[in-house]
Amino acid sequence: MTSTDSTGALVRAEIDVAALRANAAVLAERLAPARLKCVLKANAYGHGVEIIARGLFAAGWRDFCVATISEGLRLREILGDDATILAWLYGPTTDLDAALAARIELGVSTVDSLDRLRDAAHRTKTTARVHLKADTGLGRNGLAPADWARALERLRALAPHRQRGGSETGDPEKSGPARTGPDESVLSLEVVGLMSHYAVADEPDRVETAQQTQVLESAHRELTAVLDEAQGRLGESDRLEVHIANSPAALTLLPFPGTSARVGLSLYGLSPLEDRDSQDLGLAPVMRLVSQVVNLKDVPGGHGASYGLTFTAQNDTRFALVPGGYGDGIARSASNRAEVSIRGIRYPVVGRIAMDQMIVDVGAGEVAIGDEVVIFGPDGPSAAEWGTWADTINYEIVTRISDRVDRVEIDGRKSQGHESRKTDGEDVESTRGEGAETQ
């Protein structure tokens, strides 16, 4: 039961690429004929963007989403030119040129962004491929109703208009001799998508989801009219991608709204629904967070544990010291409530979880120094349980895992023989018994 790793890491996140690909297949089948857009923001929900992106790409997936432009640029470095990448979160001073040069599609949530993107397209001699984001009721990013109307008017003004001599200009008031500068025969701004985001799709009985869908459908009709009026000079309305659904919507809504869905949490095998777990949804957790026992000590009744001495042993017992604390992203708020698994048995975390370590009360259990400790994963507590113990949600439990934790690629189907693991670009071979590998 000894846990070893050649990198010397004490806490590691094992990332099961087979489970990842299986989850993607399950979700894609449910969504069809709509397309699955894989959300890899926040370091792929803490799972390690390089492992996740390469794993999905190798299985044939090509549509990816992130939040920020820097995440998009990193993803482009990882995947090369054949992936479609969408980002949507940027500010009024963000440099957009690099994003367009890297062919990253961008969400548009302010009217001013249309002009900024068109200018950036001219500078970089590219086409800005944009997804207009309508605020259908969530109240976060996106164009509110009055701004939506202004954005459509601005699109009309930006549509290239034919001039004598066959050249085009983006503003109808700019007539006369053809201008020198950017080649207006190529679209500088192309609307390729309409996007929004549900607020309460994880609560299927709420009426707001249907209301948001109605707002999106109205916005779709209005945007289609503008694109048709522009006669293809702003994009093709019949090729417009429409996406509002997140993981909860992808798992609960029938019929399914839109032409695609941006799925994050469920891709990693976690449930966004309170009354259904991963197994109920046909999904498998992708991350297994593990550590090891590095010290054991017998302590008498009345002995305290960790900072503040918030726990006192009632009887003689044994404490196991386990590396892993809030510096690794493990929630301090789960102190004195969380459990871990050692040799298949649950034991309580006692005292405050510190920056680097935690104390586990193993009592008279058969535990030895070097034993593997499952903090969460398929064979231990779940991320959802840790969410309950920490007064948060499973999204945060996995996303907060810090860069100090090694992400190690595994293939969970290979339960016997030699299993290839990859960490930080290095192949590591580990032996887990004898016998043929199962695929």
As annotated, the active-site residues are: 41, 307
For residue 190, what are the β-bridge partners? 129
Neighbours of 25 (CB within 10 A): 15
The one-letter code for the residue type at 9 is: A
Neighbours of 94 (CB within 10 A): 16
Nearest to 337 by CA among 358, 367, 322, 356: 358
Task: Please answer whether residues 162 and 223 qualify as being in contact, where contact means their C-beta atoms are separated by less than 8 angstroms.
Answer: no
Task: Please answer whether residues 328 and 368 qualify as being in contact, where contact means their C-beta atoms are separated by less than 8 angstroms.
Answer: no
Ramachandran area for residue 424 (φ above 0: left; ψ -120 to 50: alpha; else beta): left
Which residues, other chains included, contact 203 with Cβ-Cβ below 8 Å and sequence gap of 6+?
Answer: none
3-state secondary structure of 334: helix
Which run of H or E residues covers position 84? strand 84-87
Half-sphere exposure of 408 (CA within 13 A, CB side): 26
